[in-house]
Structure 1
Amino acid sequence: MMVKKTTDNKIIFGLIGKNIGYSFSRNFFLEKFKKESLSNVDYKIFDIEKIEKVSSIFRIPYLIGCNVTIPYKTSIINFLTEITAEAKEIGSVNVVKIIRKKKIIGYNTDIIGFQLSFEKDMKFFHEKNPNALILGTGSVSKTISFVLKNLGISYQFVSRRKRKYFLSYDDLNKDILETHKIIINCTPVGTYPNINSCPLVPYQFISKKHYFYDLVYNPNKSLFLKKAEKKGAFIRNGLEMLNIQANESWKIWNSP
């Protein structure tokens, strides 16, 4: 693999985002480098205020690839030279591969990360044809809807503001929660350090027939998941999705 080549300079990977001190990505990759005895590799956090600063990041010597997180998964597309068909269809990129500073290619590994972690839980669903609520309307929610559509699961977006074709949190009631047993949080609400926040779902109507998935993984059990668990719902956080998509990123960066 390319990163195992000997060099006097460290090969660099990283995470691009804003206010991302909570991220586990750096520790994940540093542990990976240690296990694979890679001493010439580093993974940095590129916490930037504006997406325009990504151009200077791409010019860093020996930078081969980056992960991309909130809030730049869509806006980064304008700074790429190529994008895969799936990422283009969704309009979301979470992995960038840099080839000799001439090609900057965008990929979406959130797709496989979510699908593999979500699919294995489908055996726990109480209904054959369940409906889902996707909380949030950002770039990650587009990826989640893409996967649900491919799995044949109907869904509705829930937005903070009243919008055409979207539900608002004020619309959520007992009837909607009885007909939508899958609830997926695609917002950053509840992420460390704001661990006492959660999406405004009427949790009193949640039951053991519900399935709650939170893309938040820090804390391990968000308030969103805690409230659902108290009502008997099956819960899952986003850590496995993070690990799967990170390993897929590694494969991309090491591919010819």
Structure 2
Amino acid sequence: MTRYGLIGFPLTHSFSQRYFTDKFAREGIPDTRYDLFDMPDISALPTLFDLSGLRGLNVTIPHKQAVLPYIHRLDPSAEKIGAVNVIKLESDGSRTGYNSDYYGFRQSLTDWLTTLNRVPATLQALVLGTGGASKAVTVALTDLGISYKFVSRTKTDGTLTYAELDTVIADYHLLINASPVGTFPRSDEAPALPYPLLTAQHLLYDLVYNPAETKGMKLARERGASVHNGLRMLELQAEKAWEIWQK
């Protein structure tokens, strides 16, 4: 039995398990399963590596950086981001870390901008949130030539606060919610954007995928902005992980 899985905590629900289980059934991939490994403490990871048949792992919150000491080498994207969400167990017993979040976000954003006839390098972005998800986002934006500012509830050097957005929102047309605000079951929440100031020139990319339309997306759409959720990013990063594991 060939095995893959997801480590993180808490794993209350998992897009990855459902996606890969459906993929194995749909594509007739035999004797293969995808499991959830709830892991409150990363120190349990070495024991998991000894699991018979294990060939690869996805990594989610809060372990994307904590896994780094357990990795023998890093793919360039993971090295730039400083976080790993895919681990490949090599045939020689070593472990390589990758970041497919970078690929999923960059490809999905590029595809979306193409459909809207928007040129990446002409955009400025506001990245809402400074947590782990923002790392892959900002590296992808830099590689696409899109300048950005972080937005946080707390004022620090190099970040804007939500209270300051009224004065700059007209210049920043790409808005990226890299925070968990609006995720089920707290679907009645939305990032504190100045929604009345949004226009048809604004684009809101919400990394949240559950619900499919977040409250923030709904408020932005009502002002004429184009909106996009995180589902396509997840699908692309999952397929990238599968590609990595099969190399």
Q: What is the RMSD computed on CA atoms of the aligned residues?
A: 1.8
Normalising to structure 2: TM-score of the pair?
0.92
1:149 aligns with 2:142: yes
Distance 1:163 1:79 in 2: 32
Distance 2:53 2:154 in 1: 43
SS at 1:197's partner residue?
A: coil
SS at 2:239's partner residue?
A: helix
CA apart distance, 1:101: 7.8
Structure 2 residue corresponding to 1:160, chosen from 141, 150, 153 = 153
Q: Structure 2 vs 1, CA of residues 200 and 56 (structure 1 numbering), >3 Å: closer, same or farther?
A: farther
Q: Within 5 Å, which residues of 2 pair with 1:100-249?
A: 100=91, 102-123=93-114, 124=116, 125=118, 129-173=122-166, 175-249=167-241
Distance 1:252 1:128 in 2: 29
Q: Report if the CA contact (8 A) 2:121-2:144 is conserved.
A: no
Q: Structure 2 vs 1, CA of residues 38 and 133 (structure 1 numbering), >3 Å: closer, same or farther?
A: same
Q: Gapped runs of 5+ residues in structure 2?
A: none
2:103 maps to a residue whose letter is I
Structure 2 residue corresponding to 1:42, chosen from 10, 33, 39 = 33
Distance 1:34 1:156 in 2: 43
SS at 1:75's partner residue?
A: coil
CA apart distance, 1:51: 2.6
Distance 1:55 1:127 in 2: 42
Distance 2:16 2:101 in 1: 14
SS at 2:122's partner residue?
A: coil
Distance 2:186 2:35 in 1: 24
Q: Name the structure 2 match of 1:73.
A: 64
Q: Gapped runs of 5+ residues in structure 1?
A: 1-9
Q: Report if the CA contact (8 A) 1:92-1:140 is conserved.
A: no
Distance 2:43 2:143 in 1: 34
Distance 1:128 1:65 in 2: 36
1:135 maps to a residue whose letter is L
Q: Report if the CA contact (8 A) 2:5-2:56 is conserved.
A: yes
Q: Report if the CA contact (8 A) 2:126-2:174 is conserved.
A: yes
CA apart distance, 1:80: 1.2
Distance 2:24 2:71 in 1: 27
Normalising to structure 1: TM-score of the pair?
0.89
SS at 1:251's partner residue?
A: helix
Q: Structure 2 vs 1, CA of residues 127 and 209 (structure 1 numbering), >3 Å: closer, same or farther?
A: farther
1:212 maps to a residue whose letter is L
- Structure 1 segments, 4+ long, off by >4 Å, are none
Q: Name the structure 2 match of 1:5.
A: none
Q: Report if the CA contact (8 A) 1:22-1:192 is conserved.
A: no
Q: Report if the CA contact (8 A) 1:206-1:233 is conserved.
A: yes
CA apart distance, 1:154: 0.8
